[in-house]
Amino acid sequence: MTTENLELRRDHLVEAMLVHVPFDGWAWSALEAGAKDLGQEPGDARLAFTGGMGEVADHFARWSDRRMLAELLTIDLEGMRVRDRIHTCIKTRLVMNAEHKESLRRLLSFLALPQNAGRLSRMTWRSCSEIWYAAGDTSTDWNHYSKRGLLVPVYSSTILHWMADDGDGDGDFPETWAFLERRIDDVLRTFRMPRRVKDRLVRLFTPMEFGRRRSA
């Protein structure tokens, strides 16, 4: 099986499992039930994700990133201020997963386990990096890491706020979008801080693997 075919197969499996996650949790039983819905053998699902349920979680994050980027191609980001581009990217990613909100809640519970801390950090950093690239960032110097390091807590806290937001009667989440706007304001104020302060904040929110690369 080619890499492209495996990627597509994993996409279908992850999408099919989401309806079962609220009942089974982020577990093999949910993935196998999704495989059965697709007319596949349960054992085939495990063969598609030999790295375990952590690999399934990682693929879901990558799949969500790709879907977000595809949706953003239909939006005129270039006509927006950078802060509005960031807001639009995060909002787009949350809205497209709104129908699977309970499944995401179960996913976060799975990722909160101590053994998944490193994976969660890497997944969050990667999504924030994709958001900055979509917003037009091309920096390769210190700013590349400072922007992503400062976005991580904005992105993470917005997801948690959204999880607790029941939304309005129209299925929208105005309270979450207002919360996100305030967090972006906080980041803009941080960018006016002395570099030594920003550097400490970036180290705080940078994935462990990046820290190891710098010290190598």
**Would you kindly state where each structural domain of the chain is located, as residue ranges?**
1-50, 52-215
- pTM value is 0.86
Give exposure, 159-185, as e/b (b: 16+ Cβ within 10 Å): bebbeebeeeeeeebeebbebbeebbe
Using pLDDT thresholds of 50, 70 and 90, give the confidence band for residue 46: very high
How far apart are the C-alpha atoms of 62 and 130, rounded to whole Å? 10
pLDDT score at 146: 85
How far apart are the C-alpha atoms of 25 and 102, rounded to whole Å? 10
pLDDT digit string (tens) for 106-122?
999 999 999 999 999 99
pLDDT score at 99: 93
Q: What is the DSSP string of 24-35?
A: H-SSHHHHHHHH
34 pLDDT above the threshold of 50: yes
For domain 52-215, give the fold. Answer: Tetracycline Repressor; domain 2 (1.10.357)
